[in-house]
Copies of this chain bind each other. A is one copy, B any other.
Amino acid sequence: MEEHRHVTIYDIAERLNLATSTISRALKDHHTISEQTIKKVKQTAKEMGFVPNTLAAGLRGNQSKTIGILIPTITQPFLSSLISGIEITARKSEYSVIIMQSHDSYEMEVDLAKSLYSNRVSGVICSLAMETKDTSHFRQFSNNNIPLVFVDRVPRDYDTFRVVINNYLAGYKATKHLIEQGCKRIAHLTAGSEFGTLYNERKRGYTDALLEHDLPVENDLIISLKEMTYEEGVKASNHLFDLKLPPDGLFAPGDILAVSAVQTAKKRGIKVPDQFAVIGFNNDPISEIIEPNISTITHPAEKMGKAAAELIFKNLKSVKEEEAKEITFLNTQVLVRESSKKI
C-alpha cells in the first residue's frame, strides 16, 4: 500500500503557475478572480483529486466548521432523534457534528466541554447531565463568542439560548386529559435530583391541573425516582398499587415509565385504562407498538435539533446580549391512545 501525499492548493498552484492565494480564492468564487481562472482552477482541482484540509482552514479561521453535541447518552430515542435533527441541519451548511456522551456525570461533562473547546467547534449544543448543578464550564464558550444552545435539559440560570418545550403546559395538558377521562386520583412520577427545570415544570403543570379541577394534590401519589428506567418504574408502580387508596390514573414523564406502569398493572390484574389510565411522555416508538398503545405527549426531538442548529448558524458571527436569553418553545400535543381512553 503505497503512501500517497494529500493534494494541496500548492500542488494546484504549481501546475497552473498561479499563486496559492489565487487558487484559494478561485475555489470559493471570490469576485476578484476571473471567470476563466476559476473554471480552470476548479477543473484541475478535480482532476488532481484535491480535497481541502479543514484543519488548515480551521486553524487559520480559528474555528472548525463543526458543531459539538454534548448529551447524556445517544441511545435514548429522544436524544438520538435530536442528534439526527442537528446532523441533518448542520450538513446542509456543510458542517460536521462531534458527539460526546456525559453519561449524566458532571465530571465527564466538564471534561468533554473542554475537549469541545479544544476542538474549536463553531458552536455547542448541550443537554445537561442529570448531576450537573454548576454550569460554569460552559463559560469558555460564551466568553469566546462560540454560540451555545441548551436543549431540553437546560439550566435555569444561564443566559444563553434554550430550546425547549413548554414542560409546564405539557404536564398540565397531560393531567387535564386524565381528569377529563374521569380520573380522580392521579399519580405522578418525577425526578428525584434535578437541578434543571424540566421535571419540576411538568410536575407544576400536573399540580396546577389538579388544583384547577378541585382535586387534591396528594404527596403519596407523587413519587421521586432516582433514574428514569423501566425497573424504577416497576418499583414505583408497585408501590402505588400497594397504597390503601391506589391511584386511578398516572401521568408518567416518560414513555418507558408509562409502559412499565401499564405492564405492572396488567400483571396485577388491574384493567388499563378502565381502572388505571396512563399517559406517558415523548412519543417514543415503543409507545405506539405496545398493547395497549400508550397515550403520550409529543416531544419533537428532530425539530428541536433543527431549531438548535439553526440558532447556532444564526449566531456564528456574534452573539448579541438580548438574543442570548431567548428561549425557543416548541409545541407539544396530547396523543390520545388506548392507555387512557376511557370515554
Contact = CB atoms under 8 A, between A and B. Distances in A.
Interface of A: 1-4, 6, 49, 51-56, 58-59, 62, 64, 66, 73-75, 77, 80-81, 83-84, 87-88, 91, 94, 96-101, 114-115, 117-120, 140, 142-145, 230, 259, 263, 266, 285-286, 289-291, 319, 321, 324
A263 B286 contact: no
Given A6-B62, A49-B140, 5 more contacts: A53-B120, A55-B64, A75-B84, A84-B101, A285-B286
A321 B1 contact: yes
Contacts of A98: 66, 96-99
A145 B3 contact: yes
A69 to B, nearest CB: 9
Nearest to A69: B99
Copies held by the complex: 2
A274 B117 CA distance: 58
Given A144-B3, A291-B263, A54 B120 contact: yes
B81 A75 contact: yes
Contacts of A97: 98-100
B100 A87 contact: yes
Contacts of A64: 55
27 contacts: A1-B145, A1-B321, A3-B144, A3-B145, A6-B144, A49-B140, A51-B117, A51-B140, A55-B59, A74-B80, A74-B83, A75-B80, A80-B80, A87-B99, A87-B101, A96-B98, A96-B100, A96-B119, A97-B98, A98-B98, A99-B99, A230-B289, A259-B289, A266-B291, A286-B286, A289-B290, A291-B291
B114 A51 contact: yes
Contacts of A83: 74, 99
- The 5 A-B pairs with the shortest beta carbon distances in the complex, nearest first, are A55-B59, A55-B58, A80-B80, A75-B80, A54-B118
Contacts of A285: 286
Nearest to A142: B1
A66 to B, nearest CB: 7
A55 B49 CA distance: 23
Nearest to A145: B3
Contacts of A75: 77, 80-81, 84
A76 B25 CA distance: 41
Contacts of A118: 51-54
A54 B100 contact: no
